[in-house]
Amino acid sequence: MAKKVYVGLSGGVDSSVTAALLKRQGYEVIGVYMKNWSKDLPGFSCPWKADYQDAKRVAVQLNIPFKMYDFETQYRQKVVDYMINEYIAGRTPNPDIMCNQEVKFKLFLDTALSDGADLIATGHYARVVKPKTKNQKMGLFMAKDKVKDQTYFLYRMTEAALNKTLFPIGELKSKAEVRSLAKMFGLVTAHKKESMGICFVGKVGIRDFLVNELGPQETGSIIDQNDKIVGQHDGSIFYTIGQRHGLNTGGGLPYYVTAKDMHHNKVYVTTKLNDENLWQKQLKISDLHWINDGPNFKKIYQIRSRHRAPLIHAKLYKDSNSTLKILLEDEIKTISGGQSTVIYDNGMVLGGGIIY
């Protein structure tokens, strides 16, 4: 008897093709639209209805059952509130990593399983690799298409979730192949544009989002590497380390944010591209998460601290019981606290943590 797979249909091309491929492979496929956010914001209308309709159309085209899970309350609590609190604390969170951890591969997984699913699937560019021997565990691996790889967002998945998850898109060579499959299957989403911005919330600027949630912020000084005030900002929570635009500060050379002082509401910048505050060779991470086993401190791993950034060789050191120090082979542009560092072992995601 065919296994039941609940596929998260977002209304985009990737998840549509996911469902189509699984059906072709002989699974009993059920499409599910997760409604996580539906609120319109000033100057921005939430695309959830259009996305829902596209998801539904795809289900009809594939002739599979379709249902909707309403996770708005939990998404608000686990993702949006977390995100807002991080910004208030002066860090820069990654809400989509939290969404994957809490919503897609926990809430959605659990709900689907209790609905009778054997497995779930999403349109992520990643691979779940089955153990070759009995001793080996289920591993999360980078997608075949290294350019589109999305494992950076998935490193907080659990082994238990991996055991129940399929990522058929991760086996494809390229986005172009996804597109052509969508065309071949005749899916309405074949030519749909990529969606960006905070997952589910859509293409609203984080700035507008925060203003809407928290109201206008207090202005403060922008201070350069010579302790000179070079401008005024409209709220230090809006800025992130490494940021260049949005400072409204001109003068020959670009200004990059090097630090924030939330207590005094100050934003520090530099025009020196080789400024020591703009580059770092060492990272400290907390909130550690390992998919299978923890790291081997003798090994050299590859790490990534930004989506799509090149992998960098690094060694891990125990910093405390709950934190880790990472020494990088090459310098990278300084990263804000709240962002994630993901540790790879030859294409396999070992785990990672949150920079502090």
Partner RNA sequence: UUCGGGAUCGUCUAAUGGUAGGACACUGGGUUUUGGUCCCAGCAAUCUAGGUUCGAGCCCUAGUCCCGAAG
* Interacting residue ranges for RNA, rule: CB under 7 A: 10, 92-96, 100, 104, 122, 124-125, 148, 150, 152-154, 175, 194-199, 205-207, 240-255, 306-309, 333, 335-336, 339
Could you please report the per-residue DSSP string of 10-30?
Answer: -SSHHHHHHHHHHHHTT-EEE
Catalytic residue among 199, 206, 312, 332: 199
Q: How far is the CB of 340 from RNA (least distance, A)?
A: 7
Q: Looking at beta carbons only, is 183 or 318 nearer to RNA?
A: 183
Positive/negative CA dihedral, 14, 201, 92, 226: positive
Q: Looking at beta carbons only, is 86 or 295 nearer to RNA?
A: 86
Pairing between strand 300-304 and 340-345? antiparallel
CA distance 82 to 228: 34
Q: Looking at beta carbons only, is 117 or 122 nearer to RNA?
A: 122
Q: Looking at beta carbons only, is 116 or 252 nearer to RNA?
A: 252
Three-state DSSP at 213 gives helix
Q: Looking at beta carbons only, is 104 or 106 nearer to RNA?
A: 104
DSSP category for residue 309: P
Output the CA torsion 342→344→348→353 (10° steps).
Answer: -30
Catalytic residue among 99, 126, 237, 314: 99
Sheet holding 165-166, edge to edge: 66-70, 28-35, 4-8, 119-121, 165-166
Output the CA torsion 233→238→243→249 (10° steps).
Answer: -20
CA distance 271 to 353: 30
Q: Which residue has the tokens 């599910």?
A: 32
- Residue 199 annotated in active site: yes
Q: Looking at beta carbons only, is 232 or 296 nearer to RNA?
A: 232
Q: How far is the CB of 153 from RNA (least distance, A)?
A: 4
Q: How far is the CB of 26 from RNA (least distance, A)?
A: 25
CA distance 307 to 241: 16
Helices (H), the chain: 13-24, 48-62, 72-75, 81-88, 95-99, 109-114, 159-162, 175-185, 206-214
Helices (H), 134-272: 159-162, 175-185, 206-214
- Residue 99 annotated in active site: yes
Q: How far is the CB of 246 from RNA (least distance, A)?
A: 4
CB 194 within 8 A of CB 150: no
CA distance 261 to 247: 16
Q: How far is the CB of 136 from RNA (least distance, A)?
A: 25
Q: Catalytic amino acids?
A: 99, 199
